[in-house]
Amino acid sequence: MLPRPDGPQGRLIVALDTPTLAQAEALAGPVAPEAGLLKLGLELFCAEGPPALARLRGLAPVFLDVKLHDIPNTVAGAIGALAALGPAMITIHAAGGPAMIAAARKAAEAAGAARPMILAVTVLTSLDAATLRAIGVEADPVNQVIRLARMALEAGADGLVCSPREVGPIRAALGEGPRLVVPGIRPAGSALGDQARVATPEEAVRDGADWIVVGRPVTGAADPAAAARAIVASLPR
């Protein structure tokens, strides 16, 4: 299983949210030396499939962000198939419940010592309190994240995906043990896009993020490699 990063560069995950592998590789080549991992998300994985993971793995470890959410048996089968492709991390939805999470962990362990981390997504960074109420969740985002986080870890998740706003509360409630991968990162002055709960890279790491996920501020920059280096340079040592 992937160890915690031992320096600022290892903390950066660059999100390659592109529709084609050619576009992803054009970005990955310059930014891979500046980052700890590359994120392969749903759009690219659905478009290009396992070959995309294989190609990106040749450049850096891959965070496979597919957010699986189904019955336990189906998720276990999917994790087994994906683990064989060699990603360093795979995401599932914490809302799938304890049995689903436990099944995912068991399937990952079958891959042996190099198994992927199973990361439970708590509350998507695009959701705010009003949106949670619209889907029947009365808890505010922080309390809902902590509830899901505790349940997911008890069920066997290796770590969590949460917004920057919940990093501090998770650390306060659950300690230093959980590994935290944090999207919704926007360097000062960047556009928010479709993110509702954000922070700067420095804020997220100071609060206790292990890894930060940055997409458009790097991939949309005139010089993506320089943008990645600037983010790494801004992180606390």
Q: How does strand 62-68 pair with strand 37-41? A: parallel
Annotated active-site residue in 55, 67, 106, 150: 67
Task: Assess whether 67 carries a catalytic annotation.
Answer: yes
Which residue is associated with the tokens 């899901």? Answer: 148
> Do residues 149 and 170 lie in contact, with contact meaning Cβ atoms separated by under 8 Å?
yes
Task: State the SS3 of 93-126.
Answer: EHHHCHHHHHHHHHHHHCCCCCCCEEEEECCCCC
- The residue length of the chain stands at 237
Q: Per DSSP, what are the bridge partners of residue 182?
A: 212
Q: Per DSSP, what are the bridge partners of residue 159?
A: 119, 179
| H/E segment holding residue 226 | helix 224-234
> Do residues 24 and 42 lie in contact, with contact meaning Cβ atoms separated by under 8 Å?
no
Catalytic positions: 67
